[in-house]
Chain A
Amino acid sequence: AQTVTQSQPEMSVQEAETVTLSCTYDTSESDYYLFWYKQPPSRQMILVIRQEAYKQQNATENRFSVNFQKAAKSFSLKISDSQLGDAAMYFCAYRSYSTSGTYKYIFGTGTRLKVLA
């Protein structure tokens, strides 16, 4: 079974600085997707960035980028030029294909990011 581990329960970053959130996962599959989701306080969880496992190039979305190391099964999120609005819980998620015809998403425990003014 697949597992997702986020070893940092909480991180802090100074406004305008860069922070990296860690995520490792375990799987025997070769083709899968990885996601980072953001859950602001009392607000809906939204997608930050996704990575396809068969693509070697790391995904980027504006100030957000990932460092995807397939062999090491590592998928970290880098946030550049941190803003106060980046403060949230960040969840790493792995998606596998279920034989029932739908996808299963496995989430880590989350990292709470605090942005200091």
Chain B
Amino acid sequence: ETGVTQTPRHLVMGMTNKKSLKCEQHLGHNAMYWYKQSAKKPLELMFVYNFKEQTENNSVPSRFSPECPNSSHLFLHLHTLQPEDSALYLCASSPPRVGGEQYFGPGTRLTVT
């Protein structure tokens, strides 16, 4: 366990559904990240938050909507997804200190039918 939790661990949703992924950390980290992990592709950074403020949006389609109500919680709201959005969605957090590495959650395995 790394101290970063994600729920749900598995999610199957239709293309017209609305669902949300949740990430939580109580490590005192300031930055939180959403990544998409697909087979045989590098981890794709989606969003970055620093002290609740979004600092990075890597041209992610608007059907993915992040929310960071505080430094400990991060959500990814999903709406009208496509089958190619099926992937493992990883949340990570990192501390502000120099040299600090990222701590990853276990991920949510998303299948869009």
On A, residues with C-beta under 8 Å from B are 4, 9, 33, 35, 37, 43-47, 50, 52, 91, 98, 100-110
Contacts and interface: CB of A to CB of B under 8 A. Distances in A.
Interface of B: 1-2, 4, 30-31, 33, 40-43, 45, 48, 50, 55-56, 90, 92, 94, 99-102, 104-107
Given A37-B104, A98-B56, A107-B42, 7 more contacts: A9-B40, A44-B107, A98-B48, A100-B48, A101-B55, A102-B56, A108-B42
Closest 7 CB pairs of A and B: A100-B55, A45-B104, A107-B43, A102-B50, A102-B31, A47-B101, A44-B106
A105 B41 contact: no
Given A4-B42, A44-B1, A98-B55, A103 B99 contact: no
B101 A35 contact: yes
Nearest to B2: A44
